[in-house]
Amino acid sequence: MSMEKHERELILIIESDNFFRNLVVKRLRERGCQISGAADGDEGLEKIKNQKPDLIFLSLTLSRGESFEVLSRIRMDPAASSIPVIVLSNLGESEEVEEAFKSGANDFLIKVNSSPELFLKKIKENLR
């Protein structure tokens, strides 16, 4: 399946690791995605409100508890609650990922194994 139909959709990545966030933004832009980055939960929530992304990658490594706070705020906001959220975890810590699913995450991706292709695959699967 080709990416064309997803090119106009906006992806937001909320990730405190600047290197990783910038790399993902760069790699996905090179592949024709419209992507925006946020360095923390507050910036992420602001961008969700103003940019209305079609899909959100949310890192579980934001400062303590912040990731789950952001996720619950997304799920409680009628304007954002239906946006698919894919959590990014360092090593697939099972408790964290489980908690993320309970809090409303749609999918997860382990950072160390991630490639631009895997990001694209997750985007396609979650924007069907």
How confident is the model over 81-113, as pLDDT tens digits?
A: 999 999 998 876 788 888 899 999 999 999 887
Query: Measured between alpha carbons, how far is 92 from 48 in angstroms, rounded to an integer?
Result: 25
CA distance 95 to 71: 16
Residue 3 is predicted with a pLDDT of 47
Whole-number pLDDT of residue 113: 78
Look at 113 and 35; give whichever has higher pLDDT. Answer: 35
d(CA 84, CA 71): 11
Domains and CATH numbers, the chain: 4-126 (3.40.50.2300)
Q: Please check the confidence at residue 35 and state whether its pLDDT lies above 70.
A: yes
In whole angstroms, give the CA distance from residue 29 to residue 26.
Answer: 5
- Average pLDDT rounded to a whole number, residues 75-80: 95
Residue 59, burial from CB neighbour count under 10 angstroms (0-12, 13-18, 19+):
buried
